[in-house]
Structures are given as structure tokens and as C-alpha cells.
Structure 1
Amino acid sequence: MILEPQPATQAATPSYVAETPAAAPEAIAAYYARKLAFETDCWDVHASLASGRIDFVLLDVRSPAMFALSHVPGAQNLPHGKMTTHRMSAWPSGTLFVVYCAGPHCNGTDKAALRLATLGYRVKVMIGGMTGWADEGFDFETGSSNATA
């Protein structure tokens, strides 16, 4: 079945959707371009890892114990509290980091992103974290062999 575009109907009062007018297309484009500069998603991380086009360091910012139970393949474990100038000097200043935590209910990624940025590193948050990775049906690894903490 092919859906045909339907004209918007004009109500006497706007809907709850339209009562706050949408931004101009230019403002919308600028907003989303800016938003994507700060975050990535599980699908893009997975596709990058699978293709071998890995131009970022993937950091699991949860505890070493949680990392050992399950983590995204290829991730290194580095809790945000252990991100120090000395520890981060192992990576060149232009390194792009992608950080993740348990999921949308966890602010560990925000704390890690803030810490990395204040140390002068580029960083993106992998939205969804472990919860998002599971929702996509992607596999996890176990063990602490990749742990840096």
C-alpha cells in the first residue's frame, strides 16, 4: 500500500503539536548538526567497528566489575573518575573518544564527556549506552582483558 500525502487540516485552534510553532528549517538544520557533534548512536558505533573504520577510542566508563560482566566489544574500561591528565596522556591530543555507560538513566557518560573536554579531548556520547546496544540486538563481550582501569 502506498501512502499518499494528505494536506494538513486547519483547526479552529492549533493542535498540541502545533501550538508552539516549529522552528525555521535553517534553525532546525543548525540544531541537529550541533547535536550530532556531541553524540553518536549504537548503530553507528557498531557499523564503524564492523567495517574496521575505527577512528575513535571507545570507552566504557562504568566500574571495572560491571565492565567484566559485559561490555561492548572493542571497548576499553576507564571510569570517569580515573580520567586524569596523566592517564589520558597515553592518547594523542587529537584523539576522538566515544563514551558510554549503562544507559539513558546513567549520567556517567555526561561526567566522562565533561572530564575529557576539560582535559582538552574531543568526545562524543554513545546515546543509549549498554541499554541501547542491547536494544539493537548487538553482541556483548565479557571479561576484563580490555580494561584500562
Structure 2
Amino acid sequence: MMTLSAVLQFPPPDAARSEAWLREKLAYYSDAWDLAQDLANGITDIVVIDTRAAEQYQAAHIPGAISFPHRTMSAETLAALDGSKVYVTYCDGIGCNGSTKGAWKLASAGLRVKELIGGLDFWLRDRHPVAQGEEAGSWPQQDLQACGC
């Protein structure tokens, strides 16, 4: 009796289609290591937005992130943002869609946006620094360890 492969039950596309789809997927997301590397290197083309409630932001947030709860985003509030930047949204983690709602609102306003995969949960899992309080804070002087992925 021949065993059928669960993985190959739906065969993968050819390499060119896979490459195009995966490049497209990467255009929408950032992971914690890539974002931490850019923040550590002082990349100014990105702005990190914490889409959670202000209380959650004050308890812990990514250093340098601005608090902009998705529930307060509107055409009027988004008009103040710089259209030349790329915005990276995050919320608590994969069980929260606040970053998706925020990213959708930013994109609807004509802004370029990516979501942080896994939100603050994955950020903390990777042992990146956090800031507390109402101020955005800044990236601490430290060397990033190499990512295992």
C-alpha cells in the first residue's frame, strides 16, 4: 500500500511563482529581529506605531514607538503623519488584530505600512528592550545578538 504525502497533497507552485508570492508576502510584514536591527541602526525611514490603548503602551512598548491607538485613527488624525515614511504597526500579538486595523487605516489614508509579526509578544520573546511610560523613549546602546533564523 502506497502512503500519500500530506505535504504534497497540494503540490507547491513552480519556483518563479513561489518567489513572487513570497516577495509579496514579505512586503507586508516585518519580524522583530529586522525591526530591532533597523532601530538599533537608527534607520529614520520607518516609524513604529503601537496601536494598543494608551494604558498598555505606558506599561511597555517598543523603544521609539509612538502611541496611536487604532480606535483613535481617522482621516483627520492620520493627516498629520509624514507620507514619506513607512509605518510599522504592532499590538499585543497574534491573538490581537489591532495592528491589522491600524495598518488598514494607515493604508486607506494613502500611507505605506507593514505589520510586525507577533506584535509585542514576539518582541519580548526575542528579548528586545522595552520602554515604559508616556514617552516614546529611544533605542538603548547595545549590540544586537544574531538571529537564529
| 2:81 aligned with 1:91 | yes
| 2:116 aligned with 1:126 | yes
Q: CA deviation at 1:60?
A: 0.3
1:15-42 superposed Cα distances (whole Å, 9 cap, x missing partner): 1111211111111101111111111111
Counterparts of 1:110 and 1:104, CA distance in 2: 10
TM-score, normalising length: structure 2: 0.86
Describe how 1:1-149 pairs up with structure 2 within 5 A: 12-146=2-136
| Structure 2 gaps, min length 5 | 138-149
One-letter amino acid of the counterpart of residue 49, structure 1? L
- Percent of pairs with identical residues: 34
Larger Cα Rg: Structure 1 or Structure 2? 1
Counterparts of 1:136 and 1:81, CA distance in 2: 28
1:1-20 superposed Cα distances (whole Å, 9 cap, x missing partner): xxxxxxxxxx9343111121
TM-score, normalising length: structure 1: 0.86
After TM superposition, the runs of 4+ consecutive aligned structure 1 residues lying more than 6 A away are none
One-letter amino acid of the counterpart of residue 45, structure 1? L
| Structure 1 gaps, min length 5 | 1-10
Q: CA deviation at 1:85?
A: 2.2
